[in-house]
Amino acid sequence: MVCALGAAVCFGTATVLQAVAARTAGTGKGGEAALLLRALRQWRYIVGLSLDGIGFVFQIVALRSLPIYAVSAALASSLAVTAVVAARLLRVRLSGTEWGAVAVVCAGLAMLGLASGPEGKQDGSDTLRYVMLAVAVGMVLLALAGGRLSGRGRSLVLGLGAGFGFGVVEVSVRLIDSLRPAELLTNPATYALVIGSAAAFILLTSALHRGAVTTATAGIVIGETIGPAAVGVVWLGDRTREGLTWLAVLGFAVAVVGALALARFGEAPADTH
């Protein structure tokens, strides 16, 4: 759980930096890929990506020892980190309700920490590996079409797409059994991980820039928690400690609801420098 929380700290801090960069890069021609390329010219986005890389290493270690549901809830709690970082570094005021939501997230993670068992021992089928690859490719297509979406549902669609992309990464890590080059290159989960992460970053940048941020961020939280958690329990054998399933379910729900209450912190204020 320490590694999962370390990943949340890295991802939460990176969100503040990337959100500022995404808004700064928001003017210009081109689609979603062009928006990402402009964001990559911002030093804040580069630092954010570096933190994402460190967080990804923590995430891999966590997924090798904890059930997906515990790791995904911990990653959703990165919004609590984002809120605290925004309050300290960007002087964003948190209401009493939002400070309460931060406490709720912490309480949910504490319950999960007490109830979580070891990771499931099932390796996952080749069918599941190809399903993850298909979902990753679908998220790439959504990312390429993101600029053409319109209407109130755009923010939710982009956010869910980014969440599904991150969810593919979580599941794919568990589906990679060997790091030997020959086996990596023949494992569909390897390509799902790479493609899913690329699509997720493009969709994340677009979601931070377009439409209602709270809706988009809520979509990201839902997409990266519920689906991967279900896959872990149903297909990979993730379980809780004996007799504590109720506590794990309650902790998961509390952590996710607390994160959703902090959804506005998926984006930093427009006037930061």
Per-residue b or e along 112-133, where b marks 16 or more CB atoms closer than 10 Å to that residue's CB: bbebbbebbeeebeeebbebbb
CA-CA-CA-CA torsion for 69, 75, 80, 85, nearest 10 degrees? Answer: 170
* Pick from 237, 243, 248: nearest CA to 114: 248
Distances (CA, A) of 229 to 66, 121, 142, 232, 250: 11, 15, 23, 5, 14
* Pick from 78, 60, 118, 82: nearest CA to 248: 118
Residue type, 76: A
Residue type, 221: V
Residue 181 is assigned to a structural domain of this protein: yes
CA-CA-CA-CA torsion for 155, 161, 167, 173, nearest 10 degrees? Answer: -140
Average pLDDT over residues 250-270: 81
Q: Which of 18-27, 57-66, 264-273 has the highest mean pLDDT?
A: 57-66
pTM exceeds 0.85, yes or no: no
Number of domains within the chain = 1
Residue 224 is assigned to a structural domain of this protein: yes
Residue 73 is assigned to a structural domain of this protein: no
What digits encode the pLDDT tens for the residues 195-227?
Answer: 999 999 888 877 766 656 677 788 888 899 999
CA distance 58 to 53: 9
> Does residue 149 or residue 139 have the better pLDDT?
139
What digits encode the pLDDT tens for the residues 73-102?
Answer: 999 888 888 888 877 766 778 889 989 999
Please provide the size of the chain in residues: 273
Residue 113 is assigned to a structural domain of this protein: no
| pLDDT of 16 strictly over 60 | yes
Residue 57 is assigned to a structural domain of this protein: no
Residue 142 is assigned to a structural domain of this protein: yes
Find the domain containing 200 and state its range.
120-237
pLDDT at 189: 95
